[in-house]
Structure 1
Amino acid sequence: MASLNFSTVNWDEMLQATFDTLKMLGSSAIFTIILGLPLGIVLYLWGRSSKPVVGVIYSVLSFLVNILRSVPFIILMVALIPFTYSIVGTSIGVLGTIPPLVVGAAPFFARLVETALREVDRGVIEAAQGMGASTTQIVTRVLLPEARPGLISGVTITVVTLVAYTAMSGMVGGGGLGDLAIRYGYYRYEKEVMIISVALMVLLVQLLQMAGDRLVKYFSRK
């Protein structure tokens, strides 16, 4: 086995790839939360409705969410190339990776939101309804505050999943550490680049998970 020589690593390119991964992760996480949170709330409300028409709409929406969740991210990224190009003008690099990241992660996060809301004590909701609270008031003043630890946990899981998605995007020129690991570590057999890229992604996941766990514990005590 050949010895490793980390002095040959282009650290400027490694630093740029790290920044690119963080940009993809941050941008896609923001849009995922913006889209996934209301979608999860709608799934929760419509899933509990006794109206037949709403029940049918919920079934269709739930089916679409399940489809998007079940498609492997690499296949989804390729399938969305025309859509991505029409929005951001490119289908590769950091910018071209963000739309498929959001499309892939938002339905996943919406399901986590729906699950977190379902875990809220039914008695608290009924008490708010008994005091004449509207649906909007119940959502904003009861459901979301009560489900906060579960929602934070859902955000953490989703962001960690996005780290894995950004790595997979390297297979189709997505940029970031995943792209660097594929181009240099796999195609050019530069093991040093592969090791550093993997180590940085593992470190990123650990930091995100630790931060999420701390926030969940903090809000669970309040």
Structure 2
Amino acid sequence: MAKDMKPRSRVVTDGIERAAARGMLRAVGMGDEDWEKPQIGVASSWNEVTPCNLSLDRLADAAKEGVHAAKGYPLEFGTISVSDGISMGHEGMHFSLVSREVIADSVETVMQAERLDGSVLLAGCDKSLPGMLMAAARLDLASVFLYAGTIAPGWVKLTDGTEKEVTIIDAFEAVGACKAGTMSLEDLDRIERAICPGEGACGGMYTANTMACAAEAMGMSLPGSASPPSADRRRDNWAHRSG
């Protein structure tokens, strides 16, 4: 007996009793030819709060194209994400770890309420990666995770003529050096302006990059997908393949 590719969503699409549900799904783009397709949730933590998540809208679009190509029907929804790099060092830090639970809870809630058959999960920040993976574990459905990717290093020229690559780690160290009197305010300012040249997660072995590697090692992400930087357009291919 062939395996049913719609183990959950038939309760939403099949039978005369589901006329209202089908009517709502028609409004978001589904049609008669789609009722036999598995419905795949594409969960993204895209936002403009931090550069970590800026590429996720583009990657979600590519993932949806991949779902369509695989004869499924993608339904995208969003969840929150908190930037550890911005929320640390003040009262906001009390909400960072909490956000992981909110992400897991919210993704699980949508997947369960809508009876979606599988998921593609996209995230780019420290707490959103484990939050997405926790949701996948709770749901125990066919799921693939895709990391947004790390940020590229910046390039700075200091007042003494020294030129070098810099990341957010250099900013943390520069603050200490400036307070210790071993670095000028001007050099600190130059480093600040150079550390984040575009989209992507913090350029260090922090939670986002380490969790991306762990997710790939566990088989939750496609092999090789953790490594390319966020701006690398190979990520669009990984997103399509994840779908």
Q: Same fold (TM over 0.5)?
A: no
From the two aligned structures, give the one with the greater strand fraction.
Answer: 2
TM-score w.r.t. length of structure 2:
0.32
TM-score w.r.t. length of structure 1:
0.34
- If asked which structure has higher relative contact order (CA below 8 Å, sep 6+), I would say 1
